Amino acid sequence: MDNLAHKSNRFQTYNINYQIILLYRFLLLMALFTISRLGFYYFNTGHYPDMTFERLMRIMQGGFKFDVTGILYVNVLYILLYHLPFPFRNTKSYSRFLKWWFFISNGIALAANVGDFFYFDFILKRSTADVFMFAKEGNIVTLFIHFIVDYWQGLVFWLLQMAVLIWGYDKVKLLTEVKPKKLSFYLSAVFWLLISVYFSVIGIRGGFTGTTRPITLGNAGAYTQKPLEMAIVLNTPFSIIRTLNKKPLKEEHYFPDEELKQIYSPIHPAHTSGAFKPLNVVVLIMESFAKEYVGAYNRNLDHGEYRGYTPFLDSLIGKSKCFQYSFANGRKSIDALPSITSSIPSMVNPYVTSVYASNKINSLALTLKKKGYETAFFHGAPNGSMGFDAFMKVAGYDQYYGMTEYGNDDDFDGSWGIWDEEFMQYMADEFGKLKQPFLATFFSVSSHHPFKVPQKYEGAFRKGTLEFHIPIQYSDLALRKFFAKASKEPWFINTLFVLTADHSNHAWHPEYKTSIGDFSIPILFYQPADTLLRGVDSTSVAQQIDIMPTILDYLNYDKEYFAFGVDLLDSSATKFAVNYNNSTYQLIQGKYLLQFLNGKTIAVYNYVNDPLLKTNLIGKVHDIQAKTEKMMKAFIQQYNNRMIHNQLVVN
């Protein structure tokens, strides 16, 4: 017993037992984070149909590294408080305070991981700091409750993890504490504090060498074959914390200025052939209308028997100009508005939350107001939702019509806003009050989680393979009724309609569960009196940022302007699509998709012949790879440098 007491005294005096207990708690968190990663993969296996055991083990290996960093980020204050070299840290009250701090901070971190089990299906990446934008929503409590109810499995998973965390916290109690000798206690406490800080910094940076930079989301690519797999490597606390202070873009100099202009330039010359056409312009942005849902785009699916869930949109496509290969520039609603109305895609960070959001910009509204247009934006959500009102004001829209202007909360869907049918009927009436020519942009709300439709339509729609298919059919019906009403109005025949989606969403078919299918949306142009504006373009690539220049050139806009996209109706224009997700740039041009990570090409696919993207052609199609990579670099250089230097308008 004397020997045991002597050992206990030595362990306590030199703080060794504190370090063993801390190490145990760290390993407990590592185990819980690993279980979270397996849970993330389990709930999202449909996005990884070709995953092999070897690849998953490689991903898990990389995940350990990011878990170390994520746990240290979350617990850096706990570690500091735990090591304070003062005797009061032995008191019960201080120990109780540390325990609850540990439970609360790590409980939030584990909840964030679990939340992404299900939110990933919507955005196809780990949540980042821009998720806090949704905390500003006036109906965030209602939406959160819906999320908890619909995905109750996550709540159970989290509660079980918390039970293990609470149960395991005090399981390691080494030796009976004795009163420490003060000098030895202080010196050893300071020593362990410095050691802990040193190793915490190393863990946060992700390596031991002096040249190691703090790891970022992009470093997850070292453990994957496909960008989407990076979401398994990462953990959500790491992803959120590492994007809290969004770094500015890096200025690039791949090409000299003159060569850069020849490869790609966002400056559009004035239209010189024909007088300006003062048509009304109506841009309809349909929430989550993935291209997979549209039957007219997918005649070959299900052995030619696929019907889709948008019968009205199918009929409208038959009278419109549309594109077989059309893509969103982002995965979130906040990415869509700058892309569609200002031809500014969100690269690296959402534009509206980036450090460049105060840049001077061009837009459809600012451009067409020079031609005497009245401009208005319609969104049936509570005013201020997702910051749309702020951005549309910056983009030059004169009037904003939201839930407040609608003025009848009886038509509120209980979650997102006014039902699409009622709001679009109201919108058609308001169009008649606008002075022609007018520009109006509409953003729908009903085709969204929690997948509800008005009570009068319950059971009225065909059940599909996904819950999303029910509200999609409802919003398609709302579109039908809007056009039925609008077609009787005098302004209708003189209006160019543009219809697209903000982003893609849940997919069923494997063709739409790829890194190209994830961004596939409809883009179509319809002018009732123009019979030449018809047909499906089966070769050109289209993207959201092309909408603005296509509209302006169709109207014969006679001044120079700035837009990152191109005129889709110009046969001489170099068509392409670009987007960014999981730290990876994608450029789609012709039949090929190029993926670009950390300054180099990591994959090339012929997505037309290989729709499931199974065969990486990197190094096998040299000319095409070189050409596409050149375009990718030129776009990044133009985008980054112009963002940094606030050069998004024509002087």
In this prediction the pTM is: 0.77
Query: Which residues of the chain, if any, have pLDDT below 50?
Result: 1-11, 13, 174, 176, 178, 209-212
Crossing angle between the packed helical segments 2-13 and 182-205, to the nearest 10 degrees: 60
The type of residue at 458 is E
DSSP assignment string, 3-60: HHHHHHHHHHHTTHHHHHHHHHHHHHHHHHHHHHHHHHHHHTGGG-TT--HHHHHHHH
Q: 600-604 long-range contacts, Cβ below 8 Å, gap at least 24? A: 601/625, 601/629, 601/632, 602/221, 603/226, 604/628
* AA identity, residue 368: L
Q: Could you tell me which residues come within 8 angstroms of residue 76 by beta carbon, excluding any fewer than 6 positions away?
A: 200, 204
The CB-side HSE value for 361 (13 A sphere, CA atoms) comes to: 30
pLDDT value of position 241: 84
Nearest to 44 by CA among 282, 272, 278, 228: 228
Residue 362 region by backbone torsions, left for phi larger than 0, else alpha for psi between -120 and 50, else beta: beta
Q: Are 613 and 513 in contact (CB under 8 A)?
A: no
Amino acid identity, position 75:
N
Residue 184: the pLDDT is 61
Please provide the DSSP assignment of 256-273 as one string.
Answer: -HHHHHHH---EEPPP-S
Query: Does the CA dihedral 94-96-101-106 come out positive or negative?
Result: positive
Q: pLDDT digit string (tens) for 281-312?
A: 999 999 999 999 999 999 989 988 999 999 99
Alpha carbons 541 and 561: distance in angstroms, whole number: 22
Q: Would you list the domain boundaries of the chain? A: 2-241, 257-406+430-449+480-644
Q: Which residues lie across from 439 on neighbouring strands?
A: 281, 375
What does the block give as tokens for 362? 């061009």
pLDDT at 2: 38
Whether residue 117 contacts residue 340, with contact meaning beta carbons closer than 8 Å, is answered with no
Write out pLDDT tens, residues 358-408: 678 899 999 999 999 999 999 998 887 777 887 888 888 999 999 999 999
Give the model's pLDDT for residue 19. 76
Residue in the block written with tokens 């739409």: 512
State the Cα–Cα distance between residues 490 and 484, nearest whole angstrom: 13
User: By the 8 A CB rule, do 284 and 500 touch?
Assistant: yes
Q: Please state which architecture CATH assigns to domain 257-406+430-449+480-644.
A: 3-Layer(aba) Sandwich (3.40)
